[in-house]
Structure 1
């Protein structure tokens, strides 16, 4: 399964991609919303989930999620935030608080998608 990881911090994005790869998922990376939208619009790119930071440099994560749902209506969205207790997650979307462990990330992704 392919997952889109949208994270502006290079080190955090790299760690998330590495963890997802170790868990058996294929991660596609975007460092901002503009690149994420280009990937989302590419219908040849299979995506099972978009995992996005709430605070991106060019757009809020919830705005990106709404645009992503316009492009791919059934795409699950998982927000990652260091301020998880203050984030309002749109209906039908998910949240994981940063920092998270490998086990927490695995459990959250598996709860959304099932086993890779």
Structure 2
């Protein structure tokens, strides 16, 4: 049995401005790059605000999604990686590496 108290703040992912650093780079990186390209081209400088506004909207949607469940995107990534190895038939004999540990529902239908 655990004697010490678990600090739940250490279990949560580290967020920057409400989203993970990877998502932050994926939403603001291309937007800033596109804004820089538009600003240095012959088009008016005000059009460079459009990619930044789109990045801000994407950031707001991601921050809302992370606020609802901070682990949602890591779950989606894990599901995408395990998609080929998923065994929907609960009675199928799985390889030893995919079996549940003993005394933790091994052989139980899901």
Q: Output the TM-score relative to the length of structure 1.
A: 0.24
Q: Output the TM-score relative to the length of structure 2.
A: 0.25
Q: Name which one, 1 or 2, has greater alpha-carbon Rg.
A: 2
Name the structure where helix makes up a greater proportion of residues. Answer: 2
